[in-house]
Amino acid sequence: MKKFIEEPKGTTYKELLNVAFSICDEFLLVKRDQHDLNENGEKFIEEIKPYVKEIKRQEEWPGTTLLGHYADVYYFNCHQELKEILTNKTERLYQWLTPELLEDICFLKNGEVWLATVAHEKIGVIMSKNQSELERVIGIEGITMS
Residues 67-119 pLDDT 10s: 999 999 999 999 999 999 999 999 999 999 999 999 999 999 999 999 999 99
55 contacts 75 by C-beta, under 8 angstroms: yes
pTM here is: 0.95
In SS3 terms, the chain reads as: CEEEECCCEHHHHHHHHHHHHHHCCEEEEEEECCCCCCHHHHHHHHHHHHHEEEEEEECEECCEECCCCCEEEEEEECCHHHHHHHHHHCCEHHHCCCCCCCEEEEEEECCEEEEEEEHHHCEEEEECCCHHHHHHHHCCCCCCEC
pLDDT of residue 98: 95
Report the candidate in 7, 42, 27, 53 with the shortest Cα–Cα distance to residue 113.
27
Percent of the chain predicted with pLDDT > 70: 100
Is residue 1 predicted with pLDDT exceeding 90? no
pLDDT of residue 122: 96
109 contacts 22 by C-beta, under 8 angstroms: no
pLDDT of residue 64: 93
